[in-house]
Every structure is written in structure tokens, then in C-alpha cells.
Amino acid sequence: MSKYWSEAIRSLTPYVPGEQPKGSNIIKLNTNENPFPPSPMVLEAIHQFDTDRLRLYPDPDSSALKQSLADHFHVKTDQVFVGNGSDEVLAHTFMAFFRHPEPLLMPDISYSFYDVYANLYGIDVRHIPLQDDFCIALDDYSEANGGIIFANPNAPTGRALTLDQINALLQRNTESVVVVDEAYVDFGAETAIKLVEQYSNLLVVQTLSKSRSLAGMRVGFAIGSAELIDGLERVKNSFNSYPLDMLAQVTATAAIKDVAYFTQTTQQIIKTREWTNEQLLALGFKIIPSKTNFVFASHRYIEAAELMGFLRTHQILVRHFSRPGIDNHLRITIGTEEEMHAMINCLKRHPDIIS
């Protein structure tokens, strides 16, 4: 705590992301990155990139990227917003739509950044408990005048709502903004982008960090009505009119265009996830059905913190959350087949695991 800090920042709780270790020989299954390299078209775009252009400012509107996203999702370019990772898109969303006299509704267990932003911007939040099966309790989200945000699939639980369920929620909430954070949607869930024409209050946020292997480039985007996108552009232009650097724009555009590679790599991750689930079940874990690139699991007898520590001593990083309700769970990112074999084989060597 510093005497120079204003009252406003003293109460802030920073978001603590998973560890980013520097060493090699580590199997990194702790921050839901993609184990595959970016598309070969991304590599090609980097090779073709004229570095002389770096002395100029980038396109403030990321026009080529917005065009490729609009083409890919069959919307107009004025329905697309891009930012430095979906974290920045979400930050602008909180500023643009959720500063309201009524509380913002969100699940009590969800992406912990939402609370950080609400705290930062002084937004009142009502946390809605998840059901016992970790599903979002849809019926509790009615007449949310201050807005709604949730991740679908949810994080870190991995459970997804269907498009019909999201549609039902939108039918009951037409007066305030509903944000669906689809960071993990490409690993088996249904996108709500199909509903943006129908609901002008729906904003869908996605990222290129997971299914498109571009976490290092920091690119996220939102799709919604032109009205909502205009609101986000206003916030963006008050902070930083150049959110994406040139290389981020070029590589993200290439990644969106390579649908074949995206399909092949996401399918492979889903296959490896299902294999990992079976193995974990056989080792005495309880698994929550996941539609993401991670599994959320708890062991019947062994504490999650103990298992995380054990894996760590064997250079395998997974994530453990200390929040009540999920504190005995591990979140394990799906890596390559080889990495998941190594993780399972390591667990089999734990003295209390019977395989």
C-alpha cells in the first residue's frame, strides 16, 4: 500500500493470471493456451510483412481484420469491434454498458476478471450461484436492468449452455446489455453470434488466444448490433485509438481466414480432451462435462492442492483455484496427445492413486 495511491485504487484486487514460467522442459497445462502453433498462413503473413511499415502507425480501425471477421461470421463490419485480447474488449464493455444504478448480474463462479473490472469501475454486482451441477441457473437471470455477463462455456467449470437456453434468457432480458464471453466456444459449444441480428442488446465476445493459437498477439473481438459496437468504439477512442499493432492485425487476419487449420486443430483438441476425461475417470477423478480446451476435475480422495504440487515437482503445471465451492478442483488445459499421456502417467505414479 502506498501513500501515493488514491482511495479508488486501494481496494482493487488485481487479477492473478496463471504462471508463465521461463524454463524449458515444462509441460504447461495451466493457462489454456493452444498446444499447436498458429496456422501456416500466419507464418506466411509474417514472412511477407514489410518491416519498413513499422515506422508508421497501424490502421486505427483494423479494417482488414474487421472485414475478415465480418466475412467469417456473416455480419457487417460495423457489427465488429476488436481489441488487445478479449480482456481489453471486456474492460471496454464494462465501461460502456454496465455503469448503471442497478446491479450487473453474473454467476458466482465465472471468469474472475469480471469482478476485477466491476471493482475498478465501481459497478455494483449481484452474483448468482451456479446450480449444484455447475450449470448456470438460467431462471435467476430475469429483469436484469443493470446487464448480464457470463462465459459460455463457463470458466473454470467448462460447462456450456445451449443456444436455445441463451435465446430463452434473451427473450426475458431485452432492456439491458447481455454479454456472452465465448473465449472457449470453439471446442464444442454453440456460438450466440447467430442471435445478434435478433437481439440488439446482445454482445458476443471471442478471442484468438485459444482456438486460433495466437495468445501472444493479444487479439480479441466482439460482435453485436452496430449500436453496441459504436458504444465500444467511443470508449476505445477515449483511451487509445490504436489498440492493435500492425503485426497483430496481419496475423489475426490470416488466422481467421485459415478455416481448415482451425477446424483440424480444434477437432484434435476435442479428441484429446475426451481421451483425457476417460483416463482421469479411471484414476478416480470426478469430471464436469467440458466444452472447452480444459477439464475441470476433482479427485475422490486426494486434495487438488496436493495433486497440483505433485505434478509440479514433475515439471507439469496445472491450475488450482482457492475459491470456495471449487477449491478442490484442478483445471487442466488440453495439450498435445504426448503431453496428456505424460500428465496421466505422472498421476499414475502418485502413491495414493490406484490405477
Q: Considering the complex, what minimum distance in angstroms separates the CB of residue 114 from ligand PMP?
A: 9
Q: Rounded CA gap, 281 and 286, in Å?
A: 6
Q: Rounded CA gap, 288 and 134, in Å?
A: 8
Return the residue nearest ligand PMP (CB atom): 85
> Is-cis flag, bond preceding 129, omega within 30?
no
The two beta strands, 316-317 and 27-28, are parallel
Q: Considering the complex, what minimum distance in angstroms separates the CB of residue 351 from ligand PMP?
A: 33
Give 79 or 209: the residue with its C-beta nearer to ligand PMP. 209
Give 13 or 355: the residue with its C-beta nearer to ligand PMP. 13
Q: Considering the complex, what minimum distance in angstroms separates the CB of residue 26 from ligand PMP?
A: 19
Binding site for ligand PMP (CB under 6 A): 85-87, 111, 151, 155, 181, 183, 207, 209, 215, 220
Q: Considering the complex, what minimum distance in angstroms separates the CB of residue 248 from ligand PMP?
A: 12
The two beta strands, 202-207 and 316-317, are unpaired
Residue that is written with C-alpha cell 435467476 in the block: 140
Give 173 or 209: the residue with its C-beta nearer to ligand PMP. 209
Give the number of other Cβ atoms within 10 Å of residue 16's Cβ.
Answer: 8
Give 128 or 151: the residue with its C-beta nearer to ligand PMP. 151
**Coil, strand or helix: which one is 317?**
strand
From the centroid of its chain, how far is CA 82?
Answer: 15
- Of 322, 325, 275, nearest to 133 by C-alpha is 325
Give 105 or 183: the residue with its C-beta nearer to ligand PMP. 183
Q: Which residues contact 165 (CB under 8 A, 6 or more apart)?
A: 138
Q: Considering the complex, what minimum distance in angstroms separates the CB of residue 353 from ligand PMP?
A: 28
Residue 256 sits at φ, ψ, to 5 deg, of -65, -35
Give 31 or 200: the residue with its C-beta nearer to ligand PMP. 31
Give 157 or 279: the residue with its C-beta nearer to ligand PMP. 157
Q: CA-CA distances (angstroms) from residue 303 to 216, 242, 310, 343, 353?
A: 33, 46, 11, 17, 12
Q: Considering the complex, what minimum distance in angstroms separates the CB of residue 87 from ligand PMP?
A: 4
Q: Considering the complex, what minimum distance in angstroms separates the CB of residue 154 from ligand PMP?
A: 8
**Coil, strand or helix: which one is 299?**
strand
